[in-house]
Amino acid sequence: MIKLRLKRFGKKREASFRLVACNSTSRRDGRPLQELGFYNPRTKETRLDTEALRLRLSQGAQPTDAVRSLLEKGGLLEKKSSSS
């Protein structure tokens, strides 16, 4: 299964993340299938490749919880309705 997840890079205590598509069994910082965006939690800067993300989601890629929240903020996914 293909997962959309965050790949950490940057200096200690100054982490940034790349949004990548990778196999669900691969390591967090292993070689990705495709890089789809960038997220910097310190400056809240986010860059998303919307066309590539839509393509991966249509192919059945599953985002992690952190990536799902970024995609919801970017307007690519609808917010999950909490039916409690």
d(CA 61, CA 65): 13
Q: Give the integer Cα–Cα distance in Å for 22 and 5.
A: 8
Span 23-58, pLDDT tens digits: 888 877 778 888 999 999 999 889 988 899 989 889
Residue 81: what pLDDT?
Answer: 60
Looking at the chain, the whole-number percentage of residues with pLDDT higher than 90 is 26
pLDDT of the residue at 40: 92
CATH class, range 2-74: alpha beta
Ordered by start, the domain boundaries in the chain are 2-74
Reported as a pLDDT band with limits 50, 70 and 90, residue 83 is low
Q: What is the pTM of this model?
A: 0.80
- For residue 6, list its beta bridge partners: 19
Kindly report the number of other CB atoms within 10 A of residue 68's CB atom: 16
